[in-house]
Amino acid sequence: MTIQKFLDPKNDVAFKKIFGTEKNKDILMGFLNDMILFKEGKPIVEVSFLKTIQDPEISSKKTSVVDIFCTDENKNTYVVEMQASGHKGFEKRAQYYAAKAYCNQMNVGGVYENLKEVIFVAIANFTMFPDKKEYKSDHVMLDRNTHEHNLKDFSFTFLELGKFNKTKDQLSSMIEKWAYFFKHAPETTPEELKEIIGHDRVIERAYEELNRFYWTEEELFAYEETLKKDWDYTASMDFKFEEGMKKGIEKGIEKVAQALIKQELALEKICQATGLSQEQIETLM
């Protein structure tokens, strides 16, 4: 059995190791600079990591926990999320996190004009917007009539891996290489690596950080524990789905039986038509 050299960057532990540590902040900056359309056309040159748990102002409010939370040299805020499984309402969650990050800039006696831009970036391992063809989308607030971009403090960038289908031979941009990295890193061989990364040192560093042979036993244990939790969650969801389907079918059969009872069909005929026992039909009667 061949051991995969590269771990899965969609794993929570791996993602935060690559993009959420001081040692690797050059990788985070490279990724953001490749992904984001900056309004001033200037790339990020420095980031400072913030606490990823955004505490509520009062105890009854919801606490926000994000994957990566940082600011750049101009104090603009970045929220970076890896969403490995389908999440209903994820686009609303993105807006909530961005709004929370914006509000948290205000100190006592703060001035509104000093509020800085909030940029939300998400890698989604599923299809978020079925009607959109492109796998990468950038969202800003525009005037409905003139399409002028007057409200500039919020932007959202989504990378939908479910729509990305290019092979390693078709990669022609850094965005495509990042999408391939997130989707196919675990199955990438060392021989394929040079062809994929080309001369880009940043994405090469990202692959290096995924190399399991450079991970400590403690890091690998945490990685495996996260995998187990994901598997348990998936198995639990599958069980609930199957149970729901079973109950739905049973309800449907019961409705058919009740309709046949109303038609005063013979008991034996109802049993044959629905597969229910005589006792079950009598209970429904």
Query: pTM of the prediction?
Result: 0.77
Would you state the pLDDT for residue 209? 95
Question: Scanning the structure block, which residue is given the tokens 């748990």?
Answer: 53
Could you tell me how far CA 103 lies from the centroid of its own chain?
A: 23
SS3 253: helix
Would you state the pLDDT for residue 107? 67
DSSP per residue over 188-248, as a string? --HHHHHHHHTT-HHHHHHHHHHBGGGS-HHHHHHHHHHHHHHHHHHHHHHHHHHHHHHHH
CA 128 – CA 35 distance, rounded (Å): 18
Domain map of the chain by residue range?
12-215
DSSP per residue over 135-154, as a string? SEEEEE---TTT------SE
Range 180-204 burial, b when 16+ CB lie within 10 A, else e: bbbbbbbebeeeebeebbeeeebbb
Digitized pLDDT (tens) for each residue of the chain, 285 residues in all: 456 789 999 999 999 999 999 999 999 999 999 998 765 667 899 999 988 755 444 443 444 456 899 999 999 999 999 998 877 889 999 999 999 999 988 865 578 888 999 999 999 999 999 999 999 999 999 999 999 999 999 999 999 999 999 999 999 999 999 999 999 999 999 889 988 988 899 999 999 999 999 999 999 999 999 887 765 555 555 555 566 566 666 676 777 668 777 776 777 777 777 777 777 777 766
CA 18 – CA 8 distance, rounded (Å): 11
Alpha helices in 5-160 (DSSP H): 12-19, 25-35, 90-103
Would you state the pLDDT for residue 63? 42
Would you state the pLDDT for residue 190? 87
Count other C-beta atoms under 10 Å from residue 116's C-beta: 15
The answer to whether the CB of 81 falls within 8 A of the CB of 90 is no
The dihedral region occupied by 275, where left means phi > 0, alpha psi between -120 and 50, and beta the remainder, is left
Q: What angle do CA 141, 144, 147 make, to 5 degrees?
A: 70
Q: How buried is residue 32: exposed, middle or buried, by Cβ count under 10 Å (0-12/13-18/19+)?
A: buried
The H or E element that residue 124 is part of is strand 118-124
CA 168 – CA 218 distance, rounded (Å): 32
Count other C-beta atoms under 10 Å from residue 91's C-beta: 16
The answer to whether the CB of 169 falls within 8 A of the CB of 192 is no
